[in-house]
Amino acid sequence: MSDERGGGVLQPLDPTGAPLGAPEPVVDLPAAVAARERTDQPRWVWACGAARYPALLRAGVTVQRCHDVELTEGLLLGYAGRWGEPRALAAAWARLTGAPVPADPPPRAATPPGAGQAALFDAMPGPPGPGITALTRVYADQLDRVAATDDPGRFRLLVAAESAGALIAAEMGAAGLPWRADVHDALLAELLGEPSPVGGPPRRLAELATRIAAAFGVRQVHADSPAELLKAFARVGVELPNTRAWVLRGVDHPAVPLVLEYKELYRIWTAHGRAWRDAWVRDGRFRPEYVPGGVVSGRWATRGGGALQIPKVIRRAVVADPGWRFVVADAGQLEPRVLAAVSGDVRLAAAGATGDLYAALARDAFGGDRARAKLALLGAMYGQTGGAAVPALAVLRRSYPTAFGYVEAAARTGEAGGLVRSWLGRTCPPGTAGFGADDDPADPDDAGGVQSPRARAARSRGRFTRNFVIQATAAEWASTLLAVLRGELTGSRAELVFFQHDEVIVHCPAAQAEQVAEAVDRAGRRASALLFGDTPVRFPLDLSIVKCYADAA
């Protein structure tokens, strides 16, 4: 599919990506797409779903399947060890068509979805998209490259889930998450007090700042400034490495509880205050712009709006429409269950077949100590190798050697600079500054000396790749669940309205809530079967049917 001035061009393709006949110009592209959906339900091939699909949605047209060329190109370049190539998709057009590489588009500000495009198929900022010939050539080339991967079946599932995610992201942005502005305002008044009449922090923050200064015995402290807080603590004899909450909780000083409260309320005021609501909540809906695969592990991100970091207290403003309910599903213990499924460790898989994996682990190998079992498993996945984790890890290594060896192999490969992949084939990018960096300048090595910066960087990358193989696979499971669930809900009034890592929210008529909950459960089981086949490991979903998001279990 390609759009032209005043209409568009459709190009039927065979399963190899080769054109079936000549391109078909159409005057009304949305109408033509809708007609094909009714008769054929094809898999649409387009350059970028984030740019293409919102315009179709505004015309009232939805599609069932697509192949997102831009997202697929990113996956394939990563698979080949070529991350972050500038203008990678434009370079693909040029490589296969001989056309010059277009200039980079201008930087894009964080704005609500659709804010830069007023009418259907208005040109977005940046260079024009490819013509239909370039698009079909790149698509055929991608099919060949997918077929050449180590496991084409898995990689095709990855591409399908990623492309479906682009559709779902656009649909969720269009639907929006129900949001009660009046409840939000009442919450802000309760938490923060009245706004300042002259600007600046609201009453509650101003009062806390005054009390913090008094606790330090000074006239003023800018409590939102980590540097000033560190100096204030130093003046009273408390030297701190930073002002993170877990560090402050270990300090016995009257300013600490005030600072912790200030930090929490300040975050709400700046991230979800009235200015945020005015920018992102319209017509009773919070409309963020989701970015599928926006994190290197494949997890989603958002472009502004902070949708993936809504504080629990603010969730009280997320209220279903009258006569409707939310079905909230949360996958518990997802990453440990993924490790059990992908590692092939029979003993860990048996624990993963139960409702509480940590409790089963504790009964099997840790003398009933659930906390110690959890510490060991998380330590193995996240690279925690010191302190209380050491004896617990020894038990894990002895009792579940195959699972332990799986993450150890990923760590060693990462340390050596090798390619580390998820279950479906997403490839971990190389280490960069700030990418899981180890800030300790004197990191002792096994021989009792001090590691060089290169050795520390390798060790840091090993810690990241150890978890990447699990976290990225968990993201694939969640994306597959979302894609399957979207198909389950087709034809109903239920709508996907929120997705965060391993949690999904469906907004539906109250009378359909039980059926929707069953559909979510089926989607979870189907996603597990698609990724892992006939595995004994269960991926249970905690399901809640609620009027308000804050009431979900």
Q: Which residues pair with 2 in a beta bridge?
A: 9
**Average pLDDT, stretch 255-275?**
94
Return the HEC string of 152-179: HHHHHHHHHHHHHHHHHHHHHHHHCEEC
What is the pLDDT at residue 109? 41
Q: Is the pLDDT score of 29 beyond 80? A: yes
Q: Residue 424 and residue 155: Cα distance in Å, rounded?
A: 5
Read off the tokens for 31.
């109408």
Q: Residue 407 and residue 383: Cα distance in Å, rounded?
A: 9
| Local confidence band at 306 (pLDDT 50, 70, 90 cut-offs) | confident
What is the pLDDT at residue 147? 97
Percent pLDDT > 90 in the chain is: 71
Q: Residue 546 and residue 553: Cα distance in Å, rounded?
A: 9
Nearest to 395 by CA among 364, 429, 421, 359: 364
| Local confidence band at 430 (pLDDT 50, 70, 90 cut-offs) | confident
Q: Residue 74 and residue 84: Cα distance in Å, rounded?
A: 8
Domain 286-333+475-551, CATH number (from 3.40.50.2300, 3.40.50.300, 3.40.605.10, 3.30.70.370): 3.30.70.370
Question: With left for phi above 0 and alpha for psi between -120 and 50, is residue 14 left, alpha or beta?
Answer: beta
**Average pLDDT, stretch 515-526?**
97
SS3 300: coil
SS3 336: helix
Q: Which helix (H) or strand (E) holds 542?
A: strand 541-546
Nearest to 75 by CA among 470, 527, 424, 465: 424
**Residue 7 phi, psi (nearest 5):** -175, -135
Same fold? 182-277, 286-333+475-551: no
Tell me the helices (H) and strands (E) count for the chain, helix number first. Answer: 20, 14
**269 or 453, higher pLDDT:** 269
Q: Is the pLDDT score of 453 beyond 90? A: no
Mean pLDDT of the chain: 87
What is the pLDDT at residue 87? 61
- Given a contact cutoff of 8 angstroms between Cβ atoms, the answer to whether 313 and 273 are in contact is no
**129 or 285, higher pLDDT:** 285
| Local confidence band at 2 (pLDDT 50, 70, 90 cut-offs) | low
Residue owning tokens 């919102």: 54
Q: Residue 426 and residue 480: Cα distance in Å, rounded?
A: 14
**Average pLDDT, stretch 164-173?**
96
pTM: 0.87
DSSP letters along 223-287, please? TT-HHHHHHHHHHTT---S---HHHHTT---THHHHHHHHHHHHHHHHHHSHHHHHHHEETTEE-
Residues 6+ positions from 116 with CB-CB distance below 8 Å: 108, 124, 125
Read off the tokens for 110.
């964080």
Q: Residue 474 and residue 299: Cα distance in Å, rounded?
A: 9
**pLDDT, tens digit, for every residue of 308-335?**
889 999 999 999 999 999 999 999 899 9
**Average pLDDT, stretch 454-462?**
84
What is the pLDDT at residue 439? 34
| Local confidence band at 257 (pLDDT 50, 70, 90 cut-offs) | very high
What is the pLDDT at residue 196? 81
**pLDDT, tens digit, for every residue of 352-405?**
999 999 999 999 999 999 999 999 999 999 887 677 778 888 999 999 999 999
Domains of the chain, residue spans: 2-175, 182-277, 286-333+475-551, 335-468
Residues 6+ positions from 386 with CB-CB distance below 8 Å: none
**pLDDT, tens digit, for every residue of 77-103?**
999 988 766 566 676 766 766 665 555
Read off the tokens for 40.
């054929």
What is the pLDDT at residue 431? 64
| Local confidence band at 119 (pLDDT 50, 70, 90 cut-offs) | very low
Q: Residue 332 and residue 524: Cα distance in Å, rounded?
A: 12
Residues 6+ positions from 343 with CB-CB distance below 8 Å: 402, 403, 405, 406, 407
**Average pLDDT, stretch 497-510?**
95
Least confident of 83-87, 88-92, 161-165, 191-195: 83-87
Q: Is the pLDDT score of 122 beyond 50? A: no
**Average pLDDT, stretch 15-26?**
91
Nearest to 340 by CA among 330, 327, 350: 350
Q: Residue 501 and residue 478: Cα distance in Å, rounded?
A: 7
Q: Which fold has domain 182-277?
A: Taq DNA Polymerase; Chain T, domain 4 (1.20.1060)
Q: Residue 68 and residue 167: Cα distance in Å, rounded?
A: 9
**Number of other CB atoms surrounding residue 369 within 10 Å:** 17
Q: Residue 148 and residue 85: Cα distance in Å, rounded?
A: 21
**pLDDT, tens digit, for every residue of 51-76?**
889 999 999 999 999 999 999 999 99
**Average pLDDT, stretch 448-452?**
59
| Local confidence band at 7 (pLDDT 50, 70, 90 cut-offs) | confident
Give whole-number Cα distances, 443 to 435, 448, 460, in Å: 17, 9, 11
- Given a contact cutoff of 8 angstroms between Cβ atoms, the answer to whether 171 and 57 are in contact is yes
| Local confidence band at 106 (pLDDT 50, 70, 90 cut-offs) | very low
